[in-house]
Each structure stands twice: as C-alpha cells, then as structure tokens.
Amino acid sequence: MQTIAQLFEARPRLKYVFTGGKGGVGKTVSAAALAYHFSREGRKILLASLNPVHSLSSVFGQDLRGGTIRPVSAPDLVGKLYASEVEATDVVDRYRVNIAHRVREFLKWADIPVDAKPFVNIAVTNPAFEEAAMFDKMVDIMLTEGENYDAIVFDTAAVANAVRLIGLSKIYGLWLGRMIQSRQEALSMKIQYAFRKEKVMDEVKKDPLMSDLLSMNARFRQVKGVLVDPEQTAFFFVTLPLALPIAVVKRFINMVRSYDIAIGGVIVNQLIKRETAAASPGDEYLQGKFTEQLGYARTIKRDLGDLVRGFVPLYPKEVTGVEKVVDVANDILGFVPDFWPDL
C-alpha cells in the first residue's frame, strides 16, 4: 500500500488536488487536512470549495464566506493557507450573461433575423448549466490563481454534481471543437458568397465569437492537459466503511477513469479503533459497529486495496476548528488501523 505521504513524495510536482465522494463522508474535512499538510510544509496553498453547500467555515471555525479568497487564521501558517467558498449564485449569474452574449453574437454574425431570447433561455436552463458555470470557474481558478499558489486543493460537490463537473472536461472539449468548426464553416460561406469579399474578410478577421471560442478552447486545452497528468493532479475519493459509500466510490472511480482524470487514491474516514472497541466490552452498539466495520474494511481492501492511501479514525467530537484539522492532517498522513494488515 502506497500511503498519501509516499504518494506526495513520489510526485513533487503535484499542484492540483481534488476530494470527492458521496455526501456526508468527509470530503471537506479531508480537503482541509490535505491543504493544512501542504501549508505546514512551507508551501502557499489555496483551498477552494466548489460545493454548493459549503462547510469550510464550519470546519475551520472561521468566516470564509463571500466568494473571496481569505487567509485561514492559524498561528503556524501565517501567509501560507488561504481559502475560498466559491459562491455558485454569483458564478452562475455571470455565466448566464456570458452565454446570452455569445448566443446573440452567433445569431447576429450569422445574419439570422430571429429573437435570441428563446435560444438564450434554452442554453441557460439545461440541467447541467450550473455545473458548466462551476467548471468555467474552476478553470478560471486553475489558470489565474495557479501562478499565485504552490498548490490548490479543491473540495468538490457530492458525486452526482462532481461527475457532471469533471465530465465537462471531456464534453466541453467536444462542444468547443464542434462550435469552432461550425463557426469556421459559416464564416467561409459568408466570404464565398460576399459581393465585396475584401470588406467581408476584414470583418471575419475581427469576428468576436470566433475569437471568444478560440480563447475558451485555449484555456480548456491548458487545463485538460493538467487534469489528466498524474504528476500534477490527484483526485482523492473519500468513503466510510459502509455499504452505500463504498458502492458509490467504486462507481465514481470508474466514471473518473472514463474522463481520464488523474486518480490519487481512496481515503477511508471514521474508522473505529480496535482499542476504542476493546475499552467498552459491554457496549453492544459499539461492538456491533466495530464487527460490521471489519466486514466493510475487508470489502474496501479487496475491491479498492491498491488505491487506499490513507485512514482517518472516528473522533469523539465533530471536526471543527484548526486544532482538529491538525489532528486529521496527522492521521490522514500517518494513521493505519492495526486490523488493516490482517484483513
């Protein structure tokens, strides 16, 4: 088993780290712990939450709301750890304006005399519109903030949203390629049938929509190259030793692989330690949960063993505040349950 510490040591160029999994499995806590770990090594880190239901503020016990990048207050991390709860509403509103502008420009330059409003409504009300907007924001963070930080840790939404988010890394490219091809064909025909070809050719060279599409394509290709590079990107799946989170993670891993996203590994959260169970032999509930956990841990080792990189024990209290994040960071890098080798 290669631990997270060994993985990080083997990939010194790792720059973009993602956490994902079923809702409630500890994605945000894991992201916070990994970001803290990188920061205490002296690296300048940005922790960005792409989750529509943010919880970074609760995990750190600090106000990180508002969509801006704020320093995380920690005595030993001054100037090293920053965080942002990306506001989906603002991102979606700006993306809606941009999409409407592009649709109107497309109809205008194609000389199509129709009302653009119905086309705009279709474009901004499709089921994946919010994920498309967040994907665009993620690309923006990677390209604009990547230069300002040594690494960026992304806390993604629950599986369904995250799959659509990262799936856009493939679909987005196909869509852009088709849009650019269509635009090139339309502009070529416009020149071909123009009476004053020189004038039209000058107009075509200044085509704002083509310029916009080429700019988007260049940004996308730059990010796509990073997302599929295991030396620069690692996606960590967080699970609990329970049937449903394990099943979800197994499906999630296959989906991420199909999108060629670089996989980092699996983090198993909320494990009951053997000594905790042994300290309360008369607690039937605890003994039952520990026995049940061993069964699910065997399943994890059997089905995901090569990908398991780290473990986090079940704490007696909820993880809130920097001190608890430090505990998680230490455990996620160094804790291995004593029953794991014997499973």
Mean pLDDT of the chain: 85
Range 321-338 average pLDDT: 95
The arrangement of strands across the sheet holding 81-85 comes to 70-71, 81-85, 45-49, 151-158, 16-21, 233-239, 263-271, 308-313
Q: Which residues contact 91 (CB under 8 A, 6 or more apart)?
A: 133, 134, 136, 137
Rounded distance, CA 332 to CA 289, Å? Answer: 22
> Looking at the predicted structure, is the pLDDT value of residue 204 above 70?
no
Among candidates 41, 267, 35, 328, which has minimal Cα distance to 49?
35
Helix locations, 84-207, DSSP H: 88-109, 117-124, 129-145, 159-192, 197-205
Q: Which residues pair with 268 in a beta bridge?
A: 239, 311
- Using the predicted structure, report yes or no on whether residue 171 has a pLDDT greater than 70: no
Look at 154 and 126; give whichever has higher pLDDT.
154
Largest CA distance in the chain: 92
Q: Which residue's entry shows tokens 């599986």?
A: 159
Give 56-59's long-range contacts (Cβ < 8 A, gap of 24+): 56/28, 56/32, 56/83, 56/85, 56/155, 57/85, 58/320, 59/28, 59/29, 59/32, 59/319, 59/320, 59/325
d(C-alpha 137, C-alpha 219), whole Å: 12
pLDDT at position 159 is 52
Of the pLDDT bands very low, low, confident and very high (cuts 50, 70, 90), residue 52 is confident
Antiparallel, parallel or unpaired: β 70-71 and 308-313? unpaired
Q: Specify the pLDDT at position 181.
A: 80
Query: Torsion angle of alpha carbons 167, 168, 169, 172, nearest 10°?
Result: 140
Give the model's pLDDT for residue 132: 72
Q: What is the pLDDT of residue 19?
A: 93
What's the pLDDT score for residue 283?
Answer: 94
pLDDT category of residue 327 using cuts at 50, 70 and 90:
very high
Write out pLDDT tens, residues 111-149.
Answer: 656 666 666 666 556 656 677 777 778 888 999 999 999
Mean pLDDT of 166-192: 71
Residue 308 parent element (H or E): strand 308-313
Chain centre to alpha carbon of residue 72: 20
In this predicted structure, what is the pLDDT of residue 10? Answer: 94
H or E, element range at 20 = strand 16-21
For residue 113, what pLDDT is reported? 63
Asked if residue 54 has pLDDT above 70, the reply is yes
Reported as a single tens digit per residue, the pLDDT across 301-314 is 999 988 999 999 99
As a whole number of angstroms, the distance between CA 80 and CA 46 comes to 8
Instruction: Name the helix (H) or strand (E) containing 304.
Output: helix 284-304
What pLDDT digit, counting tens, does each position of 226-282 carry?
A: 888 999 999 999 999 999 999 999 988 888 888 788 899 999 999 999 999 999 999
Question: Which H/E stretch holds residue 35?
Answer: helix 27-40
Looking at the DSSP bridge assignments, the partners of residue 16 are 152, 233
Question: Rounded CA gap, 235 and 233, in Å?
Answer: 7
